[in-house]
Amino acid sequence: MTISLFTLDATKQEPKPSGGLDAQGIVIAEDGLPYLLKKPTEDNPTMAANEWLCCKIASQCTVPSPTVAKLNYNGEKCVGIRIEGGTSDDYTDPNDVQISSDYHTPSALNTVCSAAVIDLFLYNPDRHLNNFMTRRSIAGTSMFAIDYSRAFLSNWPLPPVSEIKTTPTMQTLLFTIKLNGRKDTTAIERVCNKMDKISTDMMQLWINEMPAPWLSDKLRCSTIEWFDSEKDKRMDEVKEVLNEI
């Protein structure tokens, strides 16, 4: 069963952002706000489902993440990632002074360590330095995680958590920990505790909210069954890997 509530119409498209391999463009929805548009593709048929589910889980677990919405655009059901401001530099040189400036902060350490819990659990191998955004506001400088296009269902069935050790996700985590001289154990424990409280019913609700084209009935069922039977075991594996750092 799918639930079709809270879908926004989007009519105006802006040029595709540079550097975004998976985004189809930027649209202005009926709420007047801009969204990064993503939808299933031949190469990545679960892209929209990945963004929807991962952002829902991350937000529920207090990982700084963008807001996602269901969009109607040109007769298609797409996922929209709300563009709420912030900057994301093109980090290509690991010795770039700007990297040290952006990632050598308590906020960056909190966000990178928080996101690592979700990235390991949902197997997101693509959490490189460019998949965080920095925002400056009245609360100071903060960082949030973006882009789950290549996570979770793009790697189904999920590899063991330990295989994340050879990916950019782990490289980013280790880099940030080294830069700050410690890992944020409090942030990791906070997200783990929140993740432990996500029920199968909550997961099923988020899956049911997705439009039918985003995910086949078979994969919907297997995802819910996996979450119900394997979640606790996988979280134990996540904690084990992070405790080793």
For residues 29 and 149, membership in a common domain is answered with no
For residues 36 and 149, membership in a common domain is answered with no
Least Cα distance to 203 among 217, 220, 187, 219 occurs for 220
- Reported confidence tier of residue 49, pLDDT bands at 50, 70, 90: very high
- In whole angstroms, how far apart are CA 72 and each of 10, 17, 33, 48, 144? 6, 20, 14, 13, 26
Residue 91 lies in a domain: no
- Max mean pLDDT among 12-21, 97-106, 120-129 falls in 120-129
Give the C-alpha separation, 11 to 13, whole Å.
7
- pTM (2 d.p.): 0.91
The per-residue DSSP string of 50-91 comes to: HHHHHHHHHHHTT-----EEEEEETTEEEEEEE----B----
For residues 112 and 204, membership in a common domain is answered with yes
User: pLDDT digit string (tens) for 161-171?
Assistant: 999 999 999 99
What sections of 127-212 are H helices per DSSP?
Answer: 168-180, 185-196, 200-208
Q: Please state the domain count of the chain.
A: 2
| pLDDT of the residue at 3 | 39
Residue 232 lies in a domain: yes
∠ CA 235-239-243, rounded to 5° = 170
| pLDDT of the residue at 100 | 80
Give the C-alpha separation, 136 to 198, whole Å.
31
Residue 87 lies in a domain: no
For residues 101 and 208, membership in a common domain is answered with yes
- pLDDT over 90, % of the chain: 76
For residues 33 and 104, membership in a common domain is answered with no
For residues 218 and 126, membership in a common domain is answered with yes
For residues 101 and 212, membership in a common domain is answered with yes
Enclosing domain of residue 23: 7-82
For residues 116 and 237, membership in a common domain is answered with yes
Q: Which of 82, 109, 133 is the last residue of a domain?
A: 82
Residue 56 lies in a domain: yes
Mean pLDDT of the chain: 90
